[in-house]
Chains A and B, each alone.
Chain A
Amino acid sequence: MHIVVPMKQTVDLVEELELNDEGTDIEREYLTFVSNEWDEQALEEALLLKEAGGGTTVTVIGLDETDVDQTLFAALAKGADRAIKLSGDFEGGITSHQRAAILAEVVGGLDADVVLIGVQSPEDLDGQTGVLLAGLLGRPHVSVAIAVEPHDAGVKVTQEFGAGVVHEIAVTGPAVVGVQAARQAPRYVAISRVRQAMQSGGLEVMDAPDSSGDAGGLTIRRLYAPEMSSQAEMLSGDAEDIAGRLAQIIADRGLVKA
C-alpha cells in the first residue's frame, strides 16, 4: 500500500495574530509557522500502517512554506520513505481550494492507495483540504478518523462522532481519509535525527503546479477579533492574591464544602 500524507505549515496559534492594513488577512511576515498538528496525526497513523507490514510505503508532501523543510525532514527521520517539497510562492498564504488543486495534480501522479491528511487546519475558511482534494480527485473519503487499519483489500476507518460514538467503515479502492487522531500520540524524534536526515538529503523538490484557478469563490470583507460575549473579569496581582480572590469567588457560590 502506498500512503501519501500532505503536510501543511500553519501559524502557531499561541502567537499574537496581527491583521494586514486592509484587515483582510493576518500579517504573516513575522509569524512562526509550525506543522499542522492534525497532519502530524495523519503522519503517525501512516507510520503505524507502515509498521504493520505488507510493504506499505509512506510519502510526505509539503508546499514550500516557512520551515517546511524541518517538517519534511522530521517525517523522514520518523520513518517516511519519501519526501517531496513543491516549490512556489506561498508566503502570502493560499486558500484550501488552491492547496487542494495543487495536491490533486501531484497526488494524481503518485499512484496513492490512500491519502491520509489532517482533518483540518486552523485556517480552513473555505473548507478542509482533505475533503476538497477527495472531491477534486473524485475519490471516496472518510473524515474525522481516529484509526485507519488494513482491512481486506482496502482499509477500515474508524470515524468519530460526538460523545464517544464511532462508526467503522470499510473502504476499497483509493480513498482520502481526514485524520483527527492517530491510534497513538505522534512519536517524538530527536533533533539530532532530524539533522542527520537533513545531512543525508533526500528531499525531492518539484515545481508546484499552477494554482491560479479556482480559489474557492469567497471574497473576504474583513477579519476581526470576536467581541467577548461575556467579558471575563481579569484578576491581577501575584499568584497568591489571585488564588485568594478565586477561592473567595468559589466560596461565595457555596462551592467550598467545609
Chain B
Amino acid sequence: MGNDILVLVEHHAGAVHDSAAELLGKARELAGATGGQAVAVLLHDGWGDTHASALPADRVLSVEHTAFANFLPEAYVIALEAILRDRDPRLTLIANTTVGMDLAGSLSARMSSPLVAYCVDLAIDGDVVVATSQVFGGKLNAEVELPSGIASVVAGAFPPAEGGGAPEVEAVAPMAGLDSLSMTFLGRIEPETSDVDITAEEILISVGRGIGGEENVELAQELADALGGVVSASRPVADAGWLPKTRQVGKSGRKVTPRLYIACGISGAPEHLEGMRDAELIIAINTDEKAPIFDVAHFGTTEDLFDILPALTERIEAATSVA
C-alpha cells in the first residue's frame, strides 16, 4: 500500500466542480501525514490539460479519451479501477455527489477495498485512516477506522484548498475497455426556468413531509403571502408533486441563502442541509426534538406545525395591517 491520497476531479460542461478544491485541500493535509502526494485524477476528452496545471495538487494523472466527454459511470469505473490498482493509494477521495454515489461503491466492490460513505471528516492516526460519516439521515455520526480505501465526501465538509499548485501533469494512456462500452451518453438537459427562482428570494417558507399532503401546502403559502416570500420544499414534497421541482431545496435541488428560512416539517437530512444551512435566519418547526434540522436552526419549536403556521400567519398579518 502506498502513501498517496488520490482525488477524483469532478467536472461538468467544461468546468471543474467545487468539490475538487475541497477534496484536494484535504488530500494535501493527509498526504502531509502519510508522507505521500496529493494526486488528482482528471478524466477528460481533451480540454483537461489546460485545467490540470492549475489544480492544487502535487501530481495530476490525466487520461484523455472521447468516452470522458460527459460523465459515463462505466467509463469512469474502468479508468479508476486501473489507476487505483496501478497506484495503490492509501486513500481515494470522491465527492459524495451523483458522480460519487455512482462510482465509489462499485469501485469498492470491484477492488475489495473498504469504503466510507457520507464522510465529513478524515484524519490519519498512525497507520490507520480515521473517518467520520453521517448516518441515519444525519441523526448520528459514525467514527470508523480503515487501513486504506475510498471515502465519498459530503459537499462542504472541508474548506477549499487555498491557492493553486504547480502539479506535475502525467499523461496516462487510455484503458482498452474504454472503446467497448455498453453505455451511450444521449444528452444533458438543463432545467426549465419558468417558475420563481427560489435562489433569488429573501424569504422562504419551506415545507417537508410533515406537511402531510398537498392540501396543506396552503398553510405555508398563507404565511409566505403575509411575509412577501415564497414556498419551497424538501425533496419528498417535490417528488410527490405537491410543489414543483423548481422549489426543491438541497443537494439535488437549489442551494439557497435567503434572509429568512422557515423549515416546516423538515427533518434536516444532510442532503437538505446542504442547500440551506447558510441562510441568514433559520427557524425550524418540527415535532421531533432530535431532528437534525435543529442543528442548523437559530430558533426552533417542537410544537405542531399545524398550530404554529396559522398562528404565526395571523400575527404577521396583524403586524402588517397596522401601518
Residue pair A135, B107 in contact (C-beta under 8 Å): yes
Number of A interface residues in the complex (CB < 8 A): 94
Q: How many A-B residue pairs lie within 8 Å, measured between CB atoms? A: 302
Residues in A with CB closer than 8 Å to B308 are: 239, 242-243, 246
B298 CB contact (under 8 Å) in A125, A214, A230: A230
Task: Produce 1/0 per residue, B240-255, CB < 8 A to A.
Answer: 1100011000011111
Complex interface residues of chain A between 33 and 52 (CB less than 8 A to chain B): 37, 41
* List of B residues within 8 angstroms of A97 by Cβ: 108-109
B299/A168 in contact, CB under 8 A: no
Of chain B, the residue at the smallest CB distance from A180 is: B252
Report which of B98, B316, B322 forms a contact with A143, defined as CB distance below 8 A: B98
| Beyond known contacts A163-B255, A184-B241, A257-B320: 5 more, CB 8 A cutoff | A135-B106, A138-B110, A140-B183, A217-B112, A250-B316
Closest partner residue, chain A, to B191 (CB atom):
A164
What is the bound-complex CA distance between A134 and B106, given in angstroms? 6
Q: How far is the CA of A97 from the CA of B108 in the complex (A)?
A: 9
Give the contacts of A153-172 with B (CB-CB under 8 A).
154, 156, 159-172
A125 and B138: CB pair below 8 A? no
Q: Evaluate whether A132 and B140 lie within 8 angstroms (CB atoms) in the complex, with A14-B288, A165-B189 already known.
A: no
For B202, give the chain A residue with the smallest CB separation.
Answer: A255
Which residues of the partner chain B approach A156 to less than 8 Å between Cβ atoms?
Answer: 186
Assembled-state Cα–Cα distance A216/B108 (Å): 8
Asked whether A128 lies within 8 Å of B136 as measured between CB atoms, the reply is no
A171–chain B nearest beta-carbon distance, Å: 5
State which residues 288-323 of B face A: CB under 8 Å: 288-290, 292, 294-304, 307-308, 311-312, 314-316, 319-320, 322-323
Tell yes or no: B42 within 8 A of A by CB: no
Q: List 26 A-B contacts (CB under 8 A).
A: A26-B136, A122-B135, A124-B135, A135-B109, A141-B74, A143-B102, A144-B98, A154-B182, A161-B97, A162-B255, A165-B188, A165-B191, A170-B183, A172-B182, A178-B101, A216-B108, A221-B145, A225-B141, A232-B282, A232-B284, A235-B300, A240-B311, A243-B308, A253-B259, A255-B203, A257-B228
Q: Which of B184, B187, B283 is in CB contact (< 8 Å) with A249?
A: B283
Using an 8 Å CB-CB cutoff, how does the interface string of A114-130 with B read, 1 for contact, 0 for none?
00000110111111111
Please name all residues of chain A whose beta carbon is closer than 8 Å to the beta carbon of B183 when the two chains form the complex. 140, 142, 169-172
Contacts of A14 in B (CB 8 A): 267, 288
- Chain B positions near chain A (C-beta within 8 angstroms): 12, 70-74, 77, 97-98, 101-110, 112-118, 130, 133-147, 149, 152, 181-191, 202-203, 227-228, 235-236, 239-241, 245-246, 251-255, 259-260, 267, 280-284, 288-290, 292, 294-304, 307-308, 311-312, 314-316, 319-320, 322-323
- Closest B residue to A238 by CB, please name it: B303
**Among residues 167 to 205 in chain A, which have CB atoms less than 8 Å away from a CB atom of chain B?**
167-173, 175, 178, 180-181, 184-185
Indicate whether A133 reaches chain B with its CB closer than 8 angstroms. Answer: yes
* Complex partner residue of B105 from A128, A170, A172, CB under 8 angstroms: A128
Cross-interface CB contact of A181 among B72, B186, B239, B254, cutoff 8 Å: B239
Q: In the complex, A126→B259 CA distance in Å?
A: 37
A239 touches B144 (CB 8 A): no
Q: Are B139 and A249 in contact (CB under 8 A)?
A: no
Q: In angstroms, how far is the closest chain B Cβ from the Cβ of A233?
A: 5
Residues in chain B near residue A236, CB distance under 8 A: 301
Chain B hits for A122, CB < 8 A: 135-137
Most buried by A among B109, B136, B183: B109
Known interface pairs A122-B135, A127-B115, A217-B149. Does A26 touch B184 (Cβ–Cβ under 8 Å)? no
CB-contact partner of A253 in B112, B149, B260, under 8 A: B260
CA distance A218 to B28 in the complex (A): 23
